[in-house]
Amino acid sequence: MALRGITVVELAGLAPVPFCGMVLADFGAQVVRVDRPGARSGPSRLARGKRSLVVDLKQPRGAAVLRRLCARADVMLEPFRPGVMEKLQLGPEILQKENPRLIYARLSGFGQSGRFSKMAGHDINYLALSGVLSRIGRSGENPYAPLNLLADFGGGGLMCAMGIIMALFERTRSGKGQVIDASMVEGTAYLSSFMWKTQETGLWEQPRGQNMLDGGAPFYTTYRTADGGFMAVGAIEPQFYELLIKGLGGALGYLLGAIDWAHLELGRLLGTEFQVMFFFSSLVLTLCFIIHLCSIPETPLRDVAKDIPPQQAPQDLALSSDKMYEYGSIEKVKNGYVNQELVLQGGKTKNPAEQTQRTMTLRSLLRALRSVPPHYRCLCISHLIGWTAFLSNMLFFTDFMGQIVYHGDPYGAHNSTEFLIYQRGVEVGCWGLCINSMFSSLYSYFQKVLVPCIGLKGLYFMGYLLFGLGTGFIGLFPNVYSTLAMCTLFGVMSSTLYTVPFTLIAVYHHEEQKQRALGGGPDGSSRGQGLDCAALTSMVQLAQILVGGGLGLLVNTAGSVVVVVITASAVALIGCCFVALFVRYVD
């Protein structure tokens, strides 16, 4: 333990000082707590790892006991207001004279000096004086303190413990102790430095409760759930917000199919459940179209050449951000961004009047596609395999639930028991697709945590493997509950297909840019990142053609929809091998 061999004398007080002592004890310090006579009995929740004794400091014998303890101690921790220990002849001047190596830590609400130093206070008072309380709370409501965590424990106990540790480190060089004046007001103000410093960036410029991180943003707040609880949403980064919206949108779409609209007022009003679905689809499409037209600003390109310092060399620009992008991120550029590499090349090219305008033709497009390096082709093939497996399962999943899991008959009379059972299976299948969509959104949050542990290769392989095993399991053991549980693995595959291949594209291009900057990379002027992403996306349409043209024939030949999930499982497991053996990963 880091503090093994360090002895701390803690004078019993309210929560902040005992918490500070507990932190020191947790890291190996020997903490002796000194209680007052007549103090409330019962176990202290912050006495973990401490020894204790009762001493009356107002009596000469008690004061002598404390002085003997401090003579052999490394740290003295006291919670009183200024002047209390001096009246008892136990102030730092006396104790450090007897033990020059003693670190005398004084933890109080307002510090040892100033107009409030001798006043009593509590967490909410310290928050108010530090200014932090004015920033906590909902818009239009009174400010409220977040329990007593921020000032008592964060700005008080934890800050004091950090000060003691730094004083112990300094003592190894000077051999002398020092007095630590830990004020909860000042500690809380220090903790809030980020909030005040970032006001000028626009992060906290709005009134309380209207900023991005204090409940003013729909993607970073809490929501009440149907079971009476609450859920927290924190999709700040654009890629996670996009995945959240995709997950919610997909879930809402599947929910429309899972609801029996024929027995509801809206279904009777519009005629049939299909008209209800088309009504909601048209409504969402119209709203998204209006939002799209009104929300995306268009600004002219700015002249980046004027912004480039003349003394900065081209190679410095090309390598100025010589680091891999975080997983799931995209290159963050401002409106009007111009590639600096092209600007630097501008001095070597002809003037605009002499340049020949290059147009993209079908021939030039095919030429660019032929110039794609082999590892790009392998990535496209793996993407095609993945989408073929995924669509094979998803396009026929509700039919699989109705026929195989529920043993219904889609060709029976519409008032027959078999057909009604089939319809029930289709509705439950929609709930399964909803689970898939929600879990896809949830899993996307964990990808950033998983990548440092297993890498992009592990993430890619795991997505295909789990999907292949899950679909194979429900094909061999078609049960309602196990099938719904396996829908979570469909979400893993969905999230994998939407993120990992495009991250690999970004990694490939970043590597090529570094190679070109060093003068050893291939010429990629005829092929851009957008073209590679488009080629990768086209694999989805190609997979739809393959599934639409071949899977129906396969079902008719086999005479059972169970062949759908078996095919999806087999293709996904083949994809596992391809992803592991042929896809290139950059360290």
Position 555: which residue type? Answer: V
The single residue of 56, 122, 375, 409 carrying the catalytic annotation is 122
Residue 398 · residue 426 · CB < 8 Å = yes
Q: Are strands 50-54 and 230-234 parallel, antiparallel or unpaired?
A: unpaired
The single residue of 152, 181, 399, 532 carrying the catalytic annotation is 152
Q: Report the alpha-carbon distance of residue 471 to residue 562 in Å, rounded.
A: 10
Q: Report the alpha-carbon distance of residue 546 to residue 386 in Å, rounded.
A: 12
Single out the residue of 112, 113, 92 nearest to residue 104, CA to CA: 92
Residue 182 parent element (H or E):
strand 179-183
- Backbone dihedral angles phi then psi of residue 432, each to the nearest 5 degrees: -65, -40
Longest dimension (CA), the chain: 99
Q: Report the alpha-carbon distance of residue 78 to residue 223 in Å, rounded.
A: 43
Task: DSSP letter for 9, please.
Answer: E
Q: Report the alpha-carbon distance of residue 109 to residue 112 in Å, rounded.
A: 9
Q: Which residue has the tokens 């799931």?
A: 328
Residue 26 annotated in active site: no
Task: DSSP letter for 76, please.
Answer: E
Residues facing residue 179 across a β-bridge: 104
Region of 582 (left: φ > 0; alpha: ψ -120 to 50; beta: rest) is: alpha
Residue 100 · residue 177 · CB < 8 Å = yes
If 0-12 CB within 10 Å is exposed, 13-18 middle and 19+ buried, where does residue 159 land? buried
Q: Report the alpha-carbon distance of residue 12 to residue 66 in Å, rounded.
A: 13
Tell me the three-class secondary structure of 482-528, residue by residue.
Answer: HHHHHHHHHHHHHHHHHHHHHHHHHHHHHHHHHHHHCCCCCCCCCCC
Residue 407 annotated in active site: no
Q: Report the alpha-carbon distance of residue 31 to residue 74 in Å, rounded.
A: 10
Which amino acids are annotated catalytic? 122, 152
